[in-house]
Structure 1
Amino acid sequence: MDDKTIRPVGPQVDGWVERSRPVRTAKEGIHTRLEPLDVAAHGASLWRAVDGHDAVWTYLAYGPFPNEAAFIEWLKGRAELADPLYFAVVDKATGRSLGCITLMEQRPAVGVIEVGHIFFSPDLQKTPIATEAIALAGRHVFDELGYRRFEWKCDSLNAPSRAAALRFGFAFEGIFRKHLIVKGRNRDTAWFAMTDDDWPKIGAAFDAWLAPANFDGGGVQRRRLAEIRDGL
């Protein structure tokens, strides 16, 4: 090839500096608080939320747990980690801890982070609390830390997780075949992401959807999240 041939490259990233890692502080919304995982504060409540619901663990590399003692012992090891950094999802109305999310695969040098190790109890799934948990994580990643990219990955067979990623505004980017072996089984991984260019619209849609005016007296949404986002 002629050395004078112009080869395309990506745009220059001017002024970029390495970002900080996620902060181990609580993040508060209308319906929920994300609290840094503390076994004494959250363990028993989390167990009550997931006990008897083994399907919560189907696509995760751990669980189900035979009893509370085994779950608490596992949780102790997770609470100590910085990557993944665990947060309990707490219902502000009741004080109950209903699930966990983490900020993981942290790459502050290039501004990339993933939300993962998500386990939501049945009482949390498909609720404003669950949606707000992801919104709070996104605000921390983009607005507070200044990252460029926020990722969501899941087993390609995990239809609820894939649907949730799209609903929250993550864009599907493809399938990594034979990506992992989980519990002795092959896992093809579906990749989703949003970027700092996407976030202003996605964040505004979260705010509008979570606003009390978007719910009727029975707590039923007036407009869907995707509908709000598409209208912006």
Structure 2
Amino acid sequence: MPWIKPVELVGEQVILKPLDLTQVEALVDAVRDGELWKLWYTRIPAPEQMSAEIQRRLALQQSGSMLPFYIEDRSTGQALGMTSFMNIEPLHRRVEIGSTWYRQSVQRTLVNTESKQLLLAHAFEQLNCIAVEFRTSSFNVRSQAAILRLGAKLDGILRSHQVVAGDILRDTYVYSIVKHEWPAVRQNLNWLISKPRG
């Protein structure tokens, strides 16, 4: 029995659905919103790579190391992006939330907050995780700010951790939320999601 199984996570604004190949065209449309594949410091599939990227994630799901999701707008059905539980460690009850991207028109909205709230609630309340990790490039300051806003804390920096476009070495910032922090993080995320927008 796998520790983590495909599941649909439903919020007020978004639905996180198990990823599958029927979602290729919708995700191609989403990634074109802002031409996200042109960001050099992160890996986001170009339109012609979307099918291969979905197949890659599904192969990792088969191996037990990833559970990928398709992010959908609950009211319109529009594809908003992708995210994953990854680097799954059943023995240590630890996962990373990563390989996440959103169409540009919903970046810096509550889409990320609610998506992460759904994933974190599932990790801590259903899977009984000890810790949930996040990683991002030293150059991805938007992602760093979003991770800190969730309530995660910086664990450290992996220097020259990965080779990215143009054979540039990437430093990776590693953050986490641990189990005893979840009640306060949950309360803050619920407040962020529910507070009136000015």
TM over 0.5: yes
Matched, 1:186 2:169: yes
Provide the residue aligned with 1:167 in structure 2: 149
Report 1 or 2 for greater relative contact order, CA contacts < 8 Å, sequence distance ≥ 6. 2
Per the TM alignment, residue 60 of structure 1 is displaced from its structure 2 partner at its CA by 2.6
- Give the secondary structure class of the aligned counterpart of 2:7: coil
Superposition map of 1:67-146 within 5 A: 68-82=47-61, 83-146=65-128
Structure 1: gaps (5+ residues):
1-18, 222-232
Which runs of 5 or more residues in structure 2 are unaligned? none
Greater percentage in strand: 2
**2:13 & 2:100 partners in 1: Cα distance?**
18
Count of aligned positions: 193
Dislocated runs of 4+, deviation >2 Å: 19-23, 52-63, 68-81
- Measured in 1, the distance between the counterparts of 2:110 and 2:43 equals 27
Deviation at 1:52, TM superposition (A): 5.6
Q: Tell me if structure 1 keeps the 8 A contact 2:36–2:104.
A: no
Give the counterpart of 2:21 among 29, 39, 44. 39
Q: Distance in 1 between matches of 2:40 and 2:3?
A: 30
Are residues 197 and 20 of structure 1, via their aligned partners in 2, closer, same or farther at CA, if it must alter by over 3 Å? farther
Give the TM-score taking structure 2 as reference length. Answer: 0.89
Query: Match of 1:35, SS?
Result: strand
User: Deviations for 1:12-69, whole angstroms, at most 9, x for unmatched residues?
Assistant: xxxxxxx9632201011111111011221x2211111111633454333453x2xx44
Question: Aligned partners of 1:174, 1:201: CA distance in 2, in Å?
Answer: 22
Deviations 1:128-171 (A, max 9, x none): 12210000000011011001100001111110110011011111
Instruction: Name the structure 1 match of 2:190.
Output: 207
Write the distance in 1 (CA, Å) between the matches of 2:111 and 2:36. 20
* Largest Rg, 1 or 2: 1
Q: What SS class does the counterpart of residue 198 from structure 1 fall into?
A: helix
Give the distance between the partners of 1:142 and 1:52, measured in 2 at CA.
Answer: 32
Asked whether the 8 Å contact 1:60–1:117 carries over to 2, the reply is no
Range with greater deviation from structure 2 (74-83 or 185-194): 74-83
TM-score, normalized by length of structure 1? 0.77
Aligned in 2, Cα 1:185/1:62: closer, same or farther, shift over 3 Å?
farther
**Structure with the bigger percentage of helix:** 2
